Structure 1
Amino acid sequence: MNQSSLSKWLKWIIVIVGLCGFLVYAFVIPSLGKALLSEYPEFAYCYLPWIILVWITGVPCYVVLVFGWRIAGNIGRDRSFCMENAKLLKWIAVLAAADTGFFFVMNIVYLFLNMNHPAIVLMSLIVLVVGIAISAVSAALSHLVRKAAELQEQSDLTI
């Protein structure tokens, strides 16, 4: 697979993930919330704060998709190992860690406000682990891409 076709594949994957995320954020989560409301109307006061929280946590996810699009574009231009990609991967790591931390902290806040259940907080640990893993992998890739970009610059200077 050459650089151009890899770039196209990555962009298609980013578009599909973005569309799936839109469906989940716009339709699936609100309808699940409304289904819970029909069974437990006493929790109606929790619906809007939770929907707002989920939508806020979606914003960094779409910023990451934009960064991924830019990285895919660089790959298509045969700039896989460039400082821009290293910086974008670092930002992805930071956004993943911040978004994950924000979601977990808000779970605890909602628990203290009696808008959450301890079992949901425990389940949010799965999101925490996945988010931290994404952050760690992105940080490691950023480091490796930065090192490769430095080596490539040195190699270009010696030729």
Structure 2
Amino acid sequence: MKQRELSRWLKLIIVFCGFFGLLFCIYVGPETGRELLLDAENLKGMYKPFTIFIWVTGIPFFIALVFGWKICSDVGWNRDFTIINADRLKIISVLAMLEGVLYVVALLFLFVSGSFHTNVLAILLLILFFAVVIAVFTSLLSYLVRKASDIKQDNDLTI
């Protein structure tokens, strides 16, 4: 697969992730909250904060997609192993860690308030797990891209 074709496929995946993220923030999250929180008598007051929380956690997700798009553009132009892309991956890692922190705070809030529902806990823990996995792997990729960039610069200087 050529780099331009790979770049197009990766950008298509990012578009689908953005579409599904937008669908989650606008429809799935609020509807799930409505079903889980408004049906339970003791959780009715949590619906609006839950919806706002979903929207707030969408912000780092969409910022990370923008950085991913920029990385894909650089891959298409054969500028994949650069310090700039290593920094972008590091930013994506930090954004994923921020998502993880937000979900840990949400879990702590639910435990402290005693107003948790098993399905909400499962969803929050699943999202927290994915945030941690993304943070670890993008941090690792950032390190590897930085090392590859250093090797590429050394090779460019010796030739």
Normalised TM-score (structure 1): 0.91
Shift of 1:150: 0.6
Alpha-carbon distance in structure 1 between the residues aligned to 2:108 and 2:153? 47
8 A Cα contact 1:86 1:143, kept in partner: yes
Shift of 1:71: 0.2
2:93 partner letter: A
Equivalent position of 2:33 in the other structure:
33
Structure 2 CA distance for partners of 1:79 and 1:61, relative to 1, 3 Å? same
2:10 partner letter: L
8 A Cα contact 1:111 1:118, kept in partner: no
Normalised TM-score (structure 2): 0.91
Q: What count of residue pairs does the alignment treat as equivalent?
A: 159
Deviations 1:59-85 (A, max 9, x none): 101011000000000000101101111
- Unaligned 5+ segments in structure 1 are none
Equivalent position of 1:58 in the other structure:
58
Counting only pairs closer than 5 Å after superposition, residues 61-140 of structure 1 correspond to structure 2 as 61-117=61-117, 120-121=120-121, 124-140=124-140
Any idea what SS the aligned residue of 1:79 has?
coil
Equivalent position of 2:155 in the other structure:
155
2:83 partner letter: M
Any idea what SS the aligned residue of 2:133 has?
helix
Query: Superposition RMSD on alpha carbons, in Å?
Result: 1.8
Structure 2 CA distance for partners of 1:36 and 1:129, relative to 1, 3 Å? closer
Equivalent position of 2:141 in the other structure:
141
1:156 partner letter: D
Structure 2 CA distance for partners of 1:143 and 1:110, relative to 1, 3 Å? same
Alpha-carbon distance in structure 1 between the residues aligned to 2:136 and 2:83? 18
1:73 partner letter: S
Any idea what SS the aligned residue of 1:78 has?
coil
8 A Cα contact 2:42 2:115, kept in partner: no
Deviates more, 1:30-39 or 1:4-13: 30-39
Alpha-carbon distance in structure 2 between the residues aligned to 1:64 and 1:37? 29
Equivalent position of 2:6 in the other structure:
6
Deviations 1:76-118 (A, max 9, x none): 0101101111000011111111211121112212332344347
